[in-house]
Structures are given as structure tokens and as C-alpha cells.
Chain A
Amino acid sequence: MMARRSWARNQRRGLSTIIGAVFMILIVASALNVALWTMREQDRVTESILEKTNTNLNRLNEDLNISDVRVSNGKMNLTLSNAGGAASYLKSLYLVNETSNQQYRYDIDITVDGRESVSNVGQSSPAITLKDNTDYSIKVVSQSGVTTTTNISPVSSVGLSMSLIVIPPTVVPGQNVTLLFAVANNSTDSFIPASITPTLSKSCSPSCQFTDYVTPQSSYLKNGNTVFFKWVFKADGADGVVMTFNASLSNAKQGNFVIEKGLLQTIKSSEASEIFVGSTLLAKPEVFIIAPGPFGEAGNNLDKAYWAIAIANPIDIKMNISSITINLFSSNTDSSHKPLTSSTCGITGVTPNTGWSCPHDGTMRWSSPVSPIMIDPYETYTFLAKVKPGSINSVEPALLISVTAFTNLGQFAKQGYATNMFATAAPIAQVYLTDTNVATTAVTDSHVLGNIKMNSGQPRRINVTIADFETSNDAASRILAGGLLIINVPKNFTNITIPDQTSTGFSSVTVLPTFADGTTQIRAKFSENIGDPVGGGVEGKVFYFDVTAPTVAISRTYVMHTFLDGFANTSPQFEVDAFGTFGILVCTSGC
């Protein structure tokens, strides 16, 4: 019994330990729970920090930029781009009128995706009225606080970089001029809200005329960009006129303009009657030819024809000519067919009177390497010689001519001309300038001219000789009546007057209306045969006309093309097609 009581007491003592342990477990469990809960709370804080960090990183992924601002229909038209990867929610737009110092704030609700842009901001919801002549600043703010700003400056308040290019800077009168007007907006943070309109004022001293062909339109000019405006117009006026161009913009800032000058210059080389030789030949001498046609009869070992090269110096330094050659080419390769025979050419120099030779068949040459001929600036020199025709075995309808000049500025050649020869008796037909209207005088060496001079703006009588240098009394060697002397008077030569010359063999003279290129053609019909003097010999007829030279600022050489259009009294009739290209030097004074 005692043992059972003791066992029971021991059992209760163990129970209290168990109960105490249970309480301890409860307390420890509660503490552990609190500790775990505290860790969860800490985790919430950490999550919030991460969330905020992500938010801040997202802000970095917004890269807003105002890429354009214009005024359209009196309202703002803003283009905004987001170069970042995250979408941007635009919430506020601030507009400050910098002139009146007024600020306006607009609530906006626009989303711009990453790497996208949005336009027409300010056109509606809200519609923001802007003046295109007022300075503004603009700020746009996104929901995440990212800000972008820019300024609006009207063209009247910003100095723009301007340049004007005249193409070409030296213009041939009557030719087109192109003006390129470049306007650059070097500002990186300011927009010009309205399109800019170029303006151009043109003036000349002394006067000239402009005919507009192309005028530029208005254009927007974004910051950092350059816009080009182009004008094309024809400029016409006297030689030496200075053109002044003043380009700017409508409502431009005071003093914001550019001035450029151009020069009207008729020629620095030479001017052909039908072809205006322009600035492309400024440094290249022009070579012109005087040739007979026909080049007489084959086998005549007596009479000579005049051949000449007129060389115009186009630049303002002296030009030295050391050698010239005239080559004749036939498609007939027979050895007996020689339009010009070296051994019998009998070449005689006129100007200069020495240095001439026929080095081989078909070639005439003047050479003087030790004492070259010097041509003054803008002047013309005619190399003139006379030579006997060669021997051909058949009619030569077109004998090609090639001339070459060797100068201290290089060698220059000209082809594309031809003469002809008859196999039996035929005239040696020529046309050339002369300094007399006495026909018998005009056919002598010293009166055969390739160039003449005129004073600027002054009138002068020009004598043109038609001659047959075949001296036999053969009826076939005559130029038939009814042929035409055709003279192309160069551009800008005016007041063409032709005295009556019926008694001297020109029955019908016509001055055609001025051609589109400015040249004027005289057509004179000779009413008598030429080349049939009693007993044989040379015969010529002199046609003359009066003309006023153009006004030039510096000496200029114009070129007058002259040729014959008729027939020889051969059987069958053979073409008479002699030609001459003559230099007319127009001096400022003292010619």
C-alpha cells in the first residue's frame, strides 16, 4: 500500500515537470512565431525597396526628347519621341510665353511606347494656341517624373547661318544662273515653329534684266539641320555688269542676310556667230579656219589659194604660238591622188611671211620655235599663207580639214570642216575680210585679213571679199552668178545697215530677223559671175555693211562665220563652199 502511494507521488511529481515543459514549449513557440513574423515583415520592407528600385530603374528606361515643334493651324504641333525601352505616360505640359513671362500648365494623358514617338501634341485635348512670332519654352513631364524641355524661337529672334552660292559666278549674258541659298539652324535646343520663306533681291550695276524660272518654296528648318533653297533665272545685260544678290528670310532677324555677287561676262575666249563660246573655254584658245572651196583645179601649177588659222587668246596673259599645221585628208588613198603636194605646194607666207612649209603631202605648216608669235590678251592673230593645189585623179567632194596650234598653253586642234576640189578646171573660191571696198585692191596679199578690230559700242564698216584666185580664162573656172554670200553677224552687234550695192554686183541683200541665239544673218546674192575678167586673172567683189559693236568692259573677241553657197561653172556644176571664220576684236577704246 505504501509502495503504491509512493509510486503515485512519484507519478504526480513527473506530471508537474511535463506541465512545465508544455508551458515552456508554448512560450518558445510563441517567441519563434514572433521571430518568423518579424522576418516576414523584414521581407516586406525588402520587397518594397526592390519595388522602388525597379521603379527608379524604369524611370531610367524612359528617354524622352522633343523632336519637333511647329505651329499648325495656329496651334502647337509637338512631336515627342521616347528612345528608352519603357513606355512613358505623359501627364503635364508646361508652356511659358517668354515674351510676356506667362506660364500655362496643361494636364495631358498621352502614352509613348518605348522606341516610339507621338505627334500632334497640342492640336487637340488640349488645343494649345501658339503665335509663330513669340518665344516660348516647353516642358513635358511624365508620370514617373521624367522631364524634357525645349524652346521655340521664331525666325525673327534667331540668327541663322546663311550662305549663298552663285552658279556659275561668272555668267554669260542670256544664260541661266542658279542660286543656292543654304540656311542652317545650329541651335540644338530651339525650334523655329513656322516654315521659313526665302527672299531674294537682285540688282545690277549698271542695269540688267532677270527672268525667273525657278523660285523656291517655304520649308521647315529643324534645329541642327540645313535647308537649301534654289533659284534659277536668266541674267541678261551688258558685258562686265556686276550682279548683286541679297538673300534672307521673311521676317528674319535684323542683320540676318547674306550678299553674294556675280559677273556678267560675255566671253573670255571668243564668240561664234551661232555658237556662244562660254566660260568653259576660258583658258582654251579658240581656233578658226579660213579655207577655199573649191580648192581650185587639180594640176594647176600656177595659182594659189589662201589658207588661214585665226587664233583667239581668251585669257589675260600673253600667248605664244610656236607652230601651226593644216592637214588635208582624203578618203581616196590612191598614190596619185594628192590634194596638196609637198614638192609643188609653193607655199608663201602672208602673216607671218616666213616660217611656212609643206613638210609632206597634205600638210601646211608654220613653225618658229625660237621666235614664236605672241598674241596679246583677248586678241586674235591670223596665220595666213597661200598655196598651190595638188593633183587629184577624181573629184574630191569633201576634203577634211584638221588644224592644230601649238602654244605655250598647250596644243589645240579643230576638225569638222571640209573643202572640195574639182578634177579639171575650177575656180579657187575664197571669202575673207578686207580693209578696202576697192575690189582690185582687196585681192592682194596685204588686204586679205582674218581679223579686224572695233571700238566698244562704236559703228564700223566691215568689208567682205568674194574672190576667185584661179587666173586662167577658162569659162569653167568661174563662180556662177546667183550664189549667196552668207554672213552671220555675232550676237550683240546692232544697227546693221547695208548700203545699196547693186552696181557692184550684189543685186539682192536680205537681213534675216535676229535668231534666237542673238545672231543676225545677212544673205547677199551676187548677180554676176566672179572669176571671168577679160584675159584672165584674179577677180573679187567686195560686199560691205555697217554695224555697231557691243559695249564691253574689257576687250573681247567675237567670231563671225562667213561662207559662200553657190556653184562653179564646171560641168557638171560643182559646189562653191568657201568659208571663213573671222575674229572681231572689240576693244574698250583705241582700236
Chain B
Amino acid sequence: MLVAAVGIMGSGLVAWSNSSFSIAQQKIANSTDSKINMIRENFVLEDVWFYSQGPTDYANVTIRNTGNVAIKISHIYVNNTQVWNTGQMINATEAETIRATFNWEPNNLQSIWVKTTRDSQVKQIWKS
């Protein structure tokens, strides 16, 4: 009787622990992968070109993915104001140009802040 009870309880406890460990393991794996990918993300603002077409002011923000994983640009802020959030995939070692629309004045310093979906960030000052 006691043996049976121990067997039942032990089996249950082992099953619960395995399940619990598995869930934790999955969470840790996801978290680790996310952190690793974030660490492996690397990009630079290759160029920012300010120009106007008609009455509208633009900036071509060229971002080069210098890491070895693909990145997805999620947001671009200029002077802490979001000017673009469409999302743009950039493969490893490649560069993409994103056109952002915002008003700028010549010879002013503009703070360009670029974020990825993994929350990697680059913030640089460019002169318009």
C-alpha cells in the first residue's frame, strides 16, 4: 500500500518537475536566443542625406547591417520625435535606405535615433 502510494506520488512529482523544468528551459532558451541575437545585431548609420522635394522635407537614412544576423528596423526618431515606424528588414552585411519625412532647417544638428525590433539602438548627430 505504502509502496503504491510512494510510486504514485513519486511519478506525479517527477512528471510535474519535468514539465516545470521544460517550461523554464523553453523560457530561458527563448530569452537567451533573443539576447544572443540582440548581441549579434550590429548596424551603423552609413549616411543621412537631407533633401527637399517641393514643399516636403525628407531625409534618406542609410543603415548598414554590420552584424551577422538579419535585423529589422522598427523605428526612426529625429530629435526624439518618431518620424518612421514602417519596419524594414536588412540582411546581414547589407544596407538599406529609408526615407523619412520631417521638417528640417539647413545647418541644424539633427539627432537621428534608430531602433530595431530587438531593441538595438544607434543614435547619432548629423548636420542637415
Q: Which A residues lie at the B interface, using CB under 8 A?
A: 12-13, 15-16, 19-20, 22-24, 26-27, 30-31, 33-34, 37-38, 41-42, 44-45, 48-49, 51-52, 55, 59, 91-92, 94, 101, 103, 105, 139, 141, 143-145, 147
Contacts of A44 in B (CB 8 A): 32, 36
Q: Which of A19, A42, A49 contacts B6 (CB 8 A)?
A: A19
A55 to B66, CA, bound (A): 9
Q: Which of B32, B36, B67, B95 contacts A92 (CB 8 A)?
A: B95
17 contacts between A and B (CB under 8 A): A12-B3, A19-B6, A22-B10, A33-B21, A34-B24, A45-B32, A48-B40, A51-B40, A55-B66, A59-B66, A91-B95, A92-B46, A103-B51, A103-B60, A145-B46, A145-B64, A145-B66
Q: Contacts A31-B17, A145-B44 known; A23 to B11 CB distance under 8 Å?
A: yes
Report the minimum CB–CB distance from A84 to chain B (whole Å).
16
- CB-based contact B3/A23 at 8 Å: no
- CB-based contact A41/B7 at 8 Å: no
Q: Which of B5, B9, B66 contacts A143 (CB 8 A)?
A: B66
Instruction: Assess whether B111 is interfacial by the CB under 8 Å rule.
Output: no
- CB-based contact A143/B93 at 8 Å: yes
- CB-based contact A48/B64 at 8 Å: no
Instruction: Assess whether B116 is interfacial by the CB under 8 Å rule.
Output: no
Report the minimum CB–CB distance from A48 to chain B (whole Å).
4
- The residue on A at minimum CB distance from B45 is A145
- CB-based contact B39/A48 at 8 Å: yes
Q: Contacts A23-B14, A27-B13, A91-B64 known; A141 to B93 CB distance under 8 Å?
A: no
8 closest Cβ pairs, A-B complex: A23-B10, A145-B44, A41-B32, A48-B39, A16-B6, A48-B36, A145-B66, A16-B3
- CB-based contact B42/A55 at 8 Å: yes
Instruction: Assess whether B82 is interfacial by the CB under 8 Å rule.
Output: no
A103 to B60, CA, bound (A): 11
Give 7 new A-B contacts, CB below 8 A, not counting A19-B10, A51-B39: A20-B6, A20-B10, A23-B13, A33-B21, A44-B36, A45-B35, A141-B95
A52 to B46, CA, bound (A): 19
Q: Which B residues lie at the A interface, using CB under 8 A?
A: 2-3, 5-7, 9-11, 13-14, 17-18, 21, 24-25, 28-29, 32, 35-36, 39-40, 42-44, 46-47, 49, 51, 60, 62, 64, 66-67, 93, 95, 97
- The residue on A at minimum CB distance from B17 is A27
- CB-based contact B36/A94 at 8 Å: no
Report the minimum CB–CB distance from A199 to chain B (whole Å).
37
- CB-based contact A141/B3 at 8 Å: no
Q: Contacts A31-B17, A51-B40, A145-B44 known; A19 to B3 CB distance under 8 Å?
A: yes
- CB-based contact B47/A94 at 8 Å: yes
- The residue on B at minimum CB distance from A15 is B3
Contacts of B14 in A (CB 8 A): 23, 26-27, 30
Contacts of A30 in B (CB 8 A): 14, 17-18, 21
Q: Contacts A91-B64, A139-B47 known; A16 to B2 CB distance under 8 Å?
A: yes
- CB-based contact A12/B32 at 8 Å: no
Report the minimum CB–CB distance from A274 to chain B (whole Å).
73
- CB-based contact B40/A41 at 8 Å: no
A22 to B13, CA, bound (A): 12
A49 to B40, CA, bound (A): 8
Contacts of A24 in B (CB 8 A): 10
A105 to B35, CA, bound (A): 34
Contacts of B49 in A (CB 8 A): 103
Report the minimum CB–CB distance from B123 to chain A (whole Å).
15
Q: Contacts A20-B6, A145-B66 known; A52 to B17 CB distance under 8 Å?
A: no
Q: Contacts A20-B6, A23-B13, A144-B66 known; A34 to B39 CB distance under 8 Å?
A: no
- CB-based contact B28/A49 at 8 Å: no
Contacts of A92 in B (CB 8 A): 46-47, 62, 64, 95
Contacts of B97 in A (CB 8 A): 105
Contacts of A27 in B (CB 8 A): 13-14, 17
- The residue on B at minimum CB distance from A96 is B49
Q: Which of B3, B5, B25, B51 has the most chain A CB within a 10 Å cutoff?
A: B3
Q: Which of A12, A91, A145 contacts B2 (CB 8 A)?
A: A12
Report the minimum CB–CB distance from B7 to chain A (whole Å).
6
A259 to B99, CA, bound (A): 53
A20 to B10, CA, bound (A): 6
Contacts of B21 in A (CB 8 A): 30-31, 33-34
- The residue on B at minimum CB distance from A50 is B39
- The residue on A at minimum CB distance from B5 is A16
Contacts of A22 in B (CB 8 A): 10
Contacts of A59 in B (CB 8 A): 66
Contacts of A12 in B (CB 8 A): 2-3
A19 to B21, CA, bound (A): 22
Q: Contacts A48-B40, A91-B95, A103-B49 known; A141 to B64 CB distance under 8 Å?
A: yes
- CB-based contact B46/A141 at 8 Å: yes
- CB-based contact B42/A52 at 8 Å: yes
A37 to B21, CA, bound (A): 11
Q: Which of A33, A34, A141 contacts B47 (CB 8 A)?
A: A141
- The residue on A at minimum CB distance from B24 is A34
A48 to B32, CA, bound (A): 11
Contacts of A103 in B (CB 8 A): 49, 51, 60
- CB-based contact A19/B47 at 8 Å: no
- The residue on B at minimum CB distance from A26 is B14
Report the minimum CB–CB distance from A580 to chain B (whole Å).
84
Q: Contacts A37-B25, A94-B47 known; A45 to B39 CB distance under 8 Å?
A: yes
Report the minimum CB–CB distance from B5 to chain A (whole Å).
8
A417 to B66, CA, bound (A): 89
A49 to B36, CA, bound (A): 8
Report the minimum CB–CB distance from A107 to chain B (whole Å).
8
Report the minimum CB–CB distance from B32 to chain A (whole Å).
4
A92 to B97, CA, bound (A): 12
Contacts of A23 in B (CB 8 A): 6, 9-11, 13-14
A526 to B9, CA, bound (A): 156
A541 to B3, CA, bound (A): 165
